[in-house]
Amino acid sequence: MAPPGGYAAGTLTMAALLTALTSSQGLLTTASKTGGSYAYNFATVPFLAEALKLGISYNLLRRQRKEDPKAAQCTTNPRTVALFLVPSIIYMLHNNVQFYLLRYVDPATYQILGNLKIVTTGILFRICLRRQLSLLQWIALCLLAIGATTSQINTDCSQGSTKSLMSAPLAGYAFGALSATLSAVAAVYTEWVMKHNSDSLYWQNMQLYGFGVVFNGLALVLGSGGSGSGGAALADLLHGYTPVTWLVVANLAFSGLLVYATSLAMLLTTGVSIAFFGLDPSLQLGLGLAVACVSVVLYYVSPEKLALPPGGSVASRALLPK
């Protein structure tokens, strides 16, 4: 049993796992490049990741059927199944956009820009699903946007003047905005579908990932992947793959099955980028990162927990001076 106001060992282990998965996405993708470009067709990565997630969901559904057949409800009505077409297409586009984004920005910037999906998702949840956000959450969203912007301001005057106001090319920010928008639309639509569906969560995931395999496979066959070499033959599917590329596939698959630990991931990604990818730390990056991390905590942690003293419990709050 965890102490009052503390965290169980299992919770801390899961938080560490989620942080590692989240932060390693941009780091592994950058490490998989050869000479600054992708030696493999990056469109194969989402395809293989969707196939892996489909297999995992299938096995989880089989186990659920054995343990609790009533909970393993599976509706095969075509109209119900067709609802998963839209989010599958959006996730396909989103997963491929990540590779274009990392052509223009470093892993730390990628992680910071990736958190803008919290802003877009919060706004769309309010507009589309009428979900109420507290004043504190709206403040957190504003801080997150400010932190992301601050981290990208270019103040390098070593050559006498700054070449650009922002640290990365405009195309990088355009892909970042597109990624955040696609992620938010897919998340909101998927939640709406699942709230109006009483089927097993594993069966719903199977439909989502099944369509993902189909659409990513079509993208490969039609030659819309990232290699620019035309249609991808089955024999060439894994051309240019390295052990790091397989880690990218596994990361995309498992991070899609879990939620994100965004604050710690931003810090870890920045630290690794400085140590291994030649990222030059700057004051604006540090300040923007700090503001973004604080904003994420403010957005997700309840006001009651924020008001507690360090290591305190709800009961100890009554002892605080007023």
Residue from 28, 50, 185 nearest 99 by CA: 28
Tell me what pLDDT residue 187 has.
85
Residue of higher predicted confidence among 269 and 120: 120
* 2 DSSP 8-state letter: P
pLDDT given for residue 278 in this prediction: 63
Q: What is the pLDDT of residue 40?
A: 87
Average pLDDT value for residue range 186-201: 84
Task: Find all residues with CB under 8 Å of 194, minimum gap 6, and list them.
Answer: 201, 204
Q: And the tokens for 285? A: 């990056």
Residue 154 phi, psi (nearest 5):
-95, 115
For the cut 90, the answer to whether the pLDDT of residue 209 exceeds it is: yes
Residues sharing a CB contact under 8 Å with residue 55, sequence separation 6 or more, in sequence order? none
pLDDT value at position 311? Answer: 56
Q: Which residue has the higher pLDDT, 78 or 290?
A: 78
Q: Which residues contact 233 (CB under 8 A, 6 or more apart)?
A: none
Q: Is the pLDDT of residue 6 over 60?
A: no
Query: For residue 267, what pLDDT is reported?
Result: 55
pLDDT at 26 over 70: yes
Nearest Cα neighbor of 269 from 293, 245, 236 is 293
Of the two residues 163 and 47, the one the predictor is more confident about is 47
The pLDDT confidence band at residue 232, using thresholds 50, 70 and 90, is very low
3-state secondary structure 82-101: HCCHHHHHHHHHHHHHHHHH
Residue 48: its pLDDT value, please? 93
Q: Would you state the pLDDT for residue 310?
A: 58
Non-local (6+) Cβ contacts of 167 within 8 A are: 109, 152, 153, 154, 285
Q: What is the pLDDT of residue 163?
A: 54
Q: What is the pLDDT of residue 214?
A: 94
| Residues of the chain above pLDDT 70, percent | 68
Quickly list H helices, 102-134: 107-114, 116-128
* Rounded-to-integer distance, Cα 226 and Cα 232, Å: 10
What count of other Cβ atoms lies within 10 Å of the Cβ of residue 289?
23
Rg of the chain in Å (alpha carbons): 21
Average pLDDT of the residues in 53-69: 90
- 124-158 pLDDT per residue, tens: 888 887 888 788 878 877 887 787 777 777 665 55
Out of 266-270, 290-294, 310-314, pick the least confident.
310-314
Count the residues in the chain: 322
